[in-house]
Amino acid sequence: MPLDKRDHTKLLCDIGELSGLFEDALSLDGFLQRIVAMIAEHLHCPVCSIYLYYDESQELVLTATKGLNPDSIGRVRMKLGEGLTGLSLKEMRPICERQASRNPNFKAFPGIGEEQYESFLVAPIVRGQTRIGAIVVQNSQKNYFTEEDVKVFRAVTSQLANTIETTKLLMSLNEKAQAATPKPALKELKFVKGRPASEGFAFAEALVLGGEHLFAVANREKINDPCTLEDFRRAVAATEQELEQLQQQIEERLSDVASLIFSAQLLMLKDKSFMDAIENMIRAGVNPPLAILKAVEDYVRMFQKISDSYLREKSQDVRDIGRRLLENLLGKEEAQYDLEDKIIVAEELVPSDALKLSSQKVKGIILLSGGVTSHLSILAKSLSLPLVIADAPELLALKPRTMVLMDAEQGTIYIEPGADIVKNFHEREDLRARLEKLKKEMTPVTSTMDGTRVTLLANINLLGDLKAAREFHAEGVGLYRTEFPFLVRSDFPTEEEQYVIYRKLIEGIPGKEVTFRTLDIGGDKVLSYFHHTKEENPFLGMRSIRFSLKYKDIFAAQLRAILRAGHKADLKIMFPMISSLDEFLEARSVVKQCRDELQAEGIAHHANPAVGMMVELPAVLEIIDELAQEADFFSIGTNDFIQYMLAVDRTNEKVADLYLPHHPAVLRALKKIVEAADRHHREVSVCGGMGDDDRYTAYLLGIGIRRFSIDPKNLPRVQKTISSIDLSQARRLVADILKRCRLPDISKALGSDARDQTGLNPPYR
């Protein structure tokens, strides 16, 4: 078979075909069989096999195959490190052999029919450092596989890792159920004070997700009405169709972060043991709704026994599938299960949960555990989803149809509020409409009162933020947070997946500059699928550029995707959390290496992007001139800069009062950074919370900041503030403030009680 007929692009990108595997498969075994058939077809290989790894026995087991003897499924087993397949998984690397039988590590299994297939390619299936299994392709033609095949095959296993892991888990669960943990009783509760995580208001019915109220939404009278096995099977078919439609909708709306987020629920419908458990109970005389309740409760307990927190979270998927089955069995009105226009109360959420809830049009979220983690908060903001964090477990006992008012501006929650509170809520909603007026008044060019030009750029978290950026005349993207496609997925996105997202970003704001911040994870932004050693102080640990330089294969994949997406665009790349000149130079060298590789491969890319750095660490202040000689630009991330300058965790409410942007050390350091940039003719911008806050606009202009990168919805207000400032007065303000060293004096000079022109509180708190 000619090599040029291998369709790599289709194999990597056709998500619709992968979703179709769920639809056509009759069981989990059948699903895996369809995967091997799909891979074999795309790579034109007669043999493709999936081996699943079981940690307790440290064995790889042949679970699905196309081309080998089907009787060998379940019989062929290898220890970790045994054979080429076991070695690949042990060392977590692909292995490609032109004549496999000549490799001393090759292990032959008589009777499975692989003797004629000498060309051998195996890639491990892993999630972070967790071993899931391996996929093998074989061909009778010697030296069949190319270097490109190896790269593509590795990307394929990365894409499939989460789905195959869920399949393996569902196939192996056989533990006994544990007793459910009772939830606290509801006290006389009228008001809860929480912490705002994503701004907005909501007044709607509360719906508790998780716990004993999981099925309280179902009509208990209808649950005892007689249903048949055929009724149940129709409900299964309707649920499968519903999930596929939801996945399609969220892919269209949030293509940058929606990576088969409903796959676990679809797999539950293919799990023979789960479906058989329900059907066997029905055949034994249990009414189908009660059979669903019992099976789901049993499986939830099984999942809750798992020590891996990431896998334990999949119990939410089991609950979700149970609710949907009940809804489609009893009818939507009877089951009364509908997330639309509800305020969701939940103990904990992962980013994919926020995406699901957004796709189902919830009004807001009350989260009962955890801190205001920046990635979840920013994701909720980009989804325009009000979010409050409240340590009030008694909210889990809220009854269905309880009316709740949540003010995510202040972090307050009212249960069954009185008429006066509701009236005030509607008045505040009207106040927010003033933003629309400012939007109409906004102009494409921003200048101070005396005519000095200022550039306003947008901070982009998700592709959905581009609409507001365009409407509010952003002059480009000053900060694109690339970590979100990493945070909400179940494994590292491939180069191709990243390229598609980044290209959409650039095409979404054509002709304007776009600045990509490379992967900024760690601290409070943790990848659930990357199991590295637990750190006592993650904010001072393996995060941001340190992670990228340690795992250069991940870093290089991202940089290649950025360079490819930036072809013929005004492209800038910046590194987060730089602490030394050596660190910056090493990171920049990886950019050059990726550029040279793309050029050698003949792939279109941006050959000479501007390469700059985030200024976030106090360590750079004493070497700022040397950095300015090398970096093409600076971007001051004031959030982390203040955090590290003052040694205050900005997500810790116990020390939140000590997180002070107007601290004299912070203000003086900002001036020093701008002066160094000016000496070396480098652009410098502010992209953190201070840039959004009216209290600091005059000071920032006075020290020489002429570029602001801010939340798109704040662009009209910030432009209005800038247009009211005279630079000569701003410089006098700077001179006055720099003479002061007491916090109350500086606060007074800045006007800490200022409110913006809409009458709303400043965005920075």
Can you spell out the DSSP letters for 134-192?
EEEEEESSTT---HHHHHHHHHHHHHHHHHHHHHHHHHH--PPPPPPPPPPPP-S--EE
SS (H, E, C) 65-131: EECCCHHHCCCCEEECCCHHHHHHHHHCCCEEECCHHHCCCCCCCCCCCCCCCCEEEEEEEEECCEE
Give me the half-sphere count of Cα atoms (radius 13 Å) on the Cβ side of residue 524.
15
Strands 453-460 and 446-447: antiparallel
DSSP sequence for 413-480: EEES--HHHHHHHHHHHHHHTHHHHHHHH--SSEE-TT--EEEEEEEESSGGGHHHHHHTT--EEEEE
Cα 172 to Cα 127: distance, rounded to the nearest angstrom: 18
With 0-12 CB in 10 A as exposed, 13-18 as middle and 19+ as buried, what is 147?
Answer: exposed
| Cβ atoms < 10 Å from Cβ of 279 | 18
Q: Which of 48, 96, 227, 687 is catalytic?
A: 687
**Long-range contact pairs involving 619-624 (C-beta distance under 8 Å, separation at least 24):** 619/579, 619/580, 620/578, 620/579, 620/580, 621/669, 621/672, 621/673, 623/580, 623/581, 624/672, 624/673, 624/676
First to last CA, the chain: 64
User: Which residues on neighbouring strands pair with residue 389, listed in sequence order?
Assistant: 195, 367
Dist CA 512 CA 477 (whole Å): 8
Residue 23, SS3 per DSSP: helix
Q: Are 516 and 573 in contact (CB under 8 A)?
A: yes
* Tokens, residue 10: 């289709």
C-alpha to C-alpha distance for 765 and 752, rounded to whole angstroms: 11
Please give the Cα distance from 439 to 712 (Å, whole number). Answer: 11
For this structure, is 687 an active site residue? yes
Say if strands 571-575 and 610-615 run parallel, antiparallel, or are unpaired.
Answer: parallel
User: What is 33-75 written as a DSSP string?
Assistant: HHHHHHHHHHHT-SEEEEEEEETTTTEEEEEEEESS-GGGTTT
Q: What is the distance between the alpha carbons of residues 307 and 312, in angstroms, rounded to a whole number?
A: 7
CA distances from 737 to 185, 267, 641, 746, 750 (A): 53, 61, 19, 6, 8
d(CA 39, CA 332): 39
Is residue 96 part of the annotated active site? The answer reads: no
Tokens 């189902």, residue? 360
Where does 643-712 show beta strands of DSSP type E? 683-686, 707-710
Q: Can you count the helices (H) and strands (E) in the chain?
A: 31, 23
From the candidates 42, 213, 375, 663, give the one annotated as an active-site residue.
375
Active site residues: 375, 687
